[in-house]
A and B are shown apart, each in its own frame.
Chain A
Amino acid sequence: MLAWLLEPWPWYVSGPMIGLTVPLLLLLTGKNLGISSSLRHIAAACNPRTRLPYLTQEYNWRDHSWNLIFVAGVIIGAFIGNFLLSTEPVTFLPPQYATLPGMVVLFVGGILIGFGTRYADGCTSGHTIMGISALSLSSLIATVFFFVGGLLATWLILPWLLPLLGLG
């Protein structure tokens, strides 16, 4: 049992367990699963004097502080999963990303993630898992275009970008 726990989990364990986050969060806290809005709350909290309407008008990040607590949990849970419940730590990123050009790529990609998830009003958690589970049309459309963007980048941009990093 313990040996099995320490291995990477098969899809038929990990997939349903990710899906179970939806009812767990709803039944225990009444909240809809979502992660990317935390970036907005952090941006607003770090800039209390901003006049940008998206971060001020009709919006107080403190009303959404549960989301930041949830994120803190994700960080702790990932720490436990990687350091206490794995025989060998998971490799997350190729080492080539830990170079200056690699970090430029991560930064630009991060901008796309931040901007894109806010314009799309959700990410793979809020739309793909939570939204589709709620049979929401907007979440289904968003998810389709997440994959359109991902495939475009994978097949058109990464073939010349990754060799610049010495990858692939």
Chain B
Amino acid sequence: MRNRLLTLLVGIYFGLVLVKSQVVSWYQIREMFLFNDPYMYLVITSAIAVGVVSVFLIRRWRPRTIEGEVIEIKQKPLHRGMVIGGILFGMGWAITGTCPGPIYAQIGSGSLVTFVTFLGALTGIYLYAYLYPRLPHTWFGRLRTSPVSSS
């Protein structure tokens, strides 16, 4: 129960920061891809910098969670979906001006039309689920068994 409450609280924190940083704005995403404004690049780079240092320290000091659990940092297996799926997602990102986090953040902020993006995304999940057995999940050329993680 405490774990769930903490998860909810960190989610609230993340949603709040997404809105206050304006990364949930179509205009910011557009300015980024047009190279008009360095803002988004500075946000993303500084976010990654803080993340890299945090993960480095967590790996070094091996703290436990406040519930006493071991912290596991996951790596996702590389396959060509990172290229093909990555390009397709990037296109959707630029076209709608939203990625999955901001979809929820926009809906929470009262942008009702974003619900259409959400329904499209769910449709995309079903499309992927339908094609999943036939889609290659190996890296190019080399055969490599890489089960899709379900984190």
A contacts, CB < 8 Å to B: 8-9, 11-40, 42-43, 46, 50, 52-55, 58-59, 64, 66, 69-83, 85-86, 89-94, 97-98, 102-103, 105-139, 141-155, 157-158, 161
A16 touches B92 (CB 8 A): no
> How far, in whole Å, are A54 and B87 apart by their CA atoms in the complex?
21
Asked if B141 is at the interface of the complex by the 8 Å CB criterion, the answer is no
**B111: which A residues are within 8 A, CB to CB?**
92-93
Contact B82 A133 (CB under 8 A): no
Q: Which of A15, A21, A93, A146 contacts B14 (CB 8 A)?
A: A21
Q: Residue-by-residue, is B90-114 near A (CB-CB < 8 Å gives 1, otherwise 0)?
A: 1111111111111111111111011
| B85 and A121 within 8 A (CB) | yes
- Closest approach, in angstroms, between the C-beta of A99 and any C-beta of chain B? 9
A45 to B28, CA, bound (A): 33
Q: How far is the CB of A109 from chain B (nearest CB, A)?
A: 4
Report the interface size for chain B: residues with CB under 8 A from the other chain: 114
Shortest distance between the CB of A49 and any CB in chain B (Å): 13
Given A29-B65, A30-B71 in contact, is the A16-B10 Cβ separation under 8 Å? no
Q: A72-B11, A124-B93 are in contact. Are A134 and B19 (CB under 8 A)?
A: no
User: Quick one: which of B4, B19, B119, B121 contacts A77, CB cutoff 8 A?
Assistant: B19
- Report whether B65 and A124 are in contact in the complex, using a CB–CB cutoff of 8 Å: no
Least CB distance from B132 to A in Å reads: 4
* Residues of the B chain whose Cβ atoms lie less than 8 Å from the Cβ of A26: 54-55, 58, 65, 71, 73
Q: Tell me whether B16 and A77 are in contact (CB under 8 A).
A: yes
Using Cβ atoms and an 8 Å threshold, which residues of chain A touch B42?
Answer: 11-12, 15
The distance in angstroms between the C-alpha atoms of A23 and B67, with both chains bound, is 15
B78 to chain A, nearest CB (A): 4
Return the CB mask of B1-24 against A: 1 if under 8 Å, else 0. 001101111111111111111111
Q: Which of B7, B13, B95, B122 contacts A108 (CB 8 A)?
A: B95
A23 near B121: Cβ-Cβ < 8 Å? no
CB of A26, distance to nearest CB on chain B (Å): 5
Give the CA-CA distance A129 to B99 in the complex, in Å: 13
The listed residue with most B CB atoms (<10 A of its CB), out of A73, A78, A94, is A78
Tell me, yes or no, whether B74 is within 8 Å of chain A by CB. yes
Contacts of B13 in A (CB 8 A): 21, 24, 73, 77
Whether A146 lies near B90 (C-beta < 8 A) is yes
